[in-house]
Amino acid sequence: MAARVVGRTGRLAAVVRSSAVRLQSRLHGSTGLRSGSQANFFPPLEDAMLPSGSFNNRMALITGGGTGLGRAMTATLSQLGAQCIIASRKLDVLQRTAEEISSQTGNKVHAVQCDVRDPQAVSQCVDQIEALTGLPDVIINNAAGNFVCPSERLSPNAWKTITDIVLNGTAFVTLELGKRLIQNQKGASFLAITTIYAESGSGFVVPSASAKAGVEALYKSLAAEWGRYGHRFNIIQPGPIRTKGAFSRLDPTGAFEKAMIDRIPTGRLGTPAEIANLAAYVSSNYASWMSGAVTPDQWKLLEAMIRKTKGS
Ligand SMILES: NC(=O)c1ccc[n+]([C@@H]2O[C@H](COP(=O)([O-])OP(=O)(O)OC[C@H]3O[C@@H](n4cnc5c(N)ncnc54)[C@H](OP(=O)(O)O)[C@@H]3O)[C@@H](O)[C@H]2O)c1
């Protein structure tokens, strides 16, 4: 995977994209594979992929870490030695998750209440984190909101709610921590969980698609700008993974799930553990060269430039 690649406009390119999960969704319908065929041969593994202790002495903040994918990422990082802080609105949910994970891994998990839409709450949350663990080494912006709705029925308030959580929330958390990390001359790995339609767009989830695209622009920009401070910025675009939060709002009747699976070459949804392992790798020092990836257009440009080079 590339690091610090000069892009078309002369700026640094800056997105690392998820591998298999995104790829399988990209290949929808094009391979003719029957549902389940690949999954029968290669069942997904649930255990932590990295060596134990990979996150010893590391502090990790996971927004939305009380449920779904955030919870799975927290469990994996904690299992690998990290001290985790999980932050979202529902303190009771966070506390329950923190206790459960901590009792299984033996590592501390702190629960901090925070509504990422509110910059003042984010600032107070970071004060609390500094007091609990010091500034984190790993920041995972995972909190999000979404619901399925025809765009002609969207109210300004519905638009604002989703874009406030996804885009503004990610920006507030990233900027608040980034400023303090820079001031303290401390490097960090930032990871944002976006989605496959952040680039393509998608009907019926337009506020989410727009906000996730904004998150990607934010992370591409900061990968270029803040690399010099020791900050890495990466993005994972998961394909569909059954979580209560996502599926209850996006597929309340379950009708889309089967159609979706039939279009995925591997014949199944992803699992939270698969994203957790990918997130752990991207956030670890095994990926410390990884900050930004080359887009297909940039590859074309680079290839053309390389082909023009004589004598190599
Ligand atoms: N599951 C999928 O198929 C899928 C696919 C692609 C991308 N993703 C992405 O994966 C991430 C996790 O989603 P999930 O499926 O695990 O759903 P989830 O369980 O509903 O997770 C969303 C989390 O965000 C938190 N949150 C919502 N509003 C917040 C706010 N204002 N401030 C702070 N935290 C807030 C929620 O906690 P509180 O309610 O306590 O605030 C919750 O823990 C999201 O970014 C989602 O877009 C999921």
116 Cα: distance to centroid of ligand 1 (angstroms): 12
242 three-class SS? coil
169 half-sphere exposure, CB direction, 13 A CA radius = 30
Task: Identify the residue whose C-alpha is closest to ligand 1 atom 43.
Answer: 64
**Residue in 142, 148, 248, 275 to alter for ligand 1 test, most ligand atoms within 8 A of Cβ:** 142
197 is known as an active-site residue: yes
Across the chain, how many H-helices and E-strands are there? 13, 6
47 Cα: distance to centroid of ligand 1 (angstroms): 22
Alpha helices in 119-232 (DSSP H): 119-132, 156-163, 169-183, 197-200, 206-226
pLDDT in the model for residue 216: 97
Q: Which domains does the chain have, with CATH numbers?
A: 56-239+271-289 (3.40.50.720)
291 Cα: distance to centroid of ligand 1 (angstroms): 24
Backbone angle region of 263, left / alpha / beta, with phi > 0 → left and psi within -120 to 50 → alpha: alpha
Task: Identify the residue whose C-alpha is closest to ligand 1 atom 20.
Answer: 245
- Of 60-64, 124-128, 142-146, 264-268, the one with minimum mean pLDDT is 264-268
> What is the arithmetic mean of pLDDT over 23-47?
56
> What is the arithmetic mean of pLDDT over 163-185?
98
On the question of pLDDT at 12 being above 70, the answer is no
- Of 42-56, 151-165, 250-264, the one with minimum mean pLDDT is 250-264
Sheet of 109-113: strands edge to edge? 109-113, 83-88, 59-63, 138-141, 188-193, 231-236
Element containing residue 86 per DSSP (H, E):
strand 83-88
pLDDT in the model for residue 267: 86
On the question of pLDDT at 200 being above 90, the answer is yes
Contact in structure between 106 and 80 (CB atoms under 8 Å): no
Instruction: Report the C-alpha gap between 249 and 205 in whole angstroms.
Output: 11
> What is the arithmetic mean of pLDDT over 2-29?
33
Single-letter amino acid code for the residue at 111:
A
Average pLDDT, the chain: 86
On the question of pLDDT at 97 being above 80, the answer is yes
Q: What percent of the chain has pLDDT over 90?
A: 71
pLDDT in the model for residue 37: 59
Strands 231-236 and 109-113: unpaired
CB atoms within 10 A of CB 72: 25
Give the pTM: 0.87
Contact in structure between 237 and 17 (CB atoms under 8 Å): yes
115 Cα: distance to centroid of ligand 1 (angstroms): 12
Could you report the per-residue pLDDT of 44-67, keeping only the tens digit for each?
899 999 999 999 999 999 999 999
Joined tokens for residue 241: 């993974």
Pocket residues: Cβ below 6 A from ligand 1: 63-64, 66-70, 88-90, 93, 114-117, 142-146, 165, 169, 193, 195, 238, 240-241, 243, 245-246
On the question of pLDDT at 17 being above 60, the answer is no
pLDDT in the model for residue 298: 64
297 half-sphere exposure, CB direction, 13 A CA radius = 4
Instruction: For residue 219, give Cα distances in angstroms to 29, 32, 213, 239, 247.
Output: 30, 35, 10, 19, 26
190 three-class SS? strand
> What is the arithmetic mean of pLDDT over 193-206?
96
pLDDT in the model for residue 293: 54
Joined tokens for residue 171: 């920006």
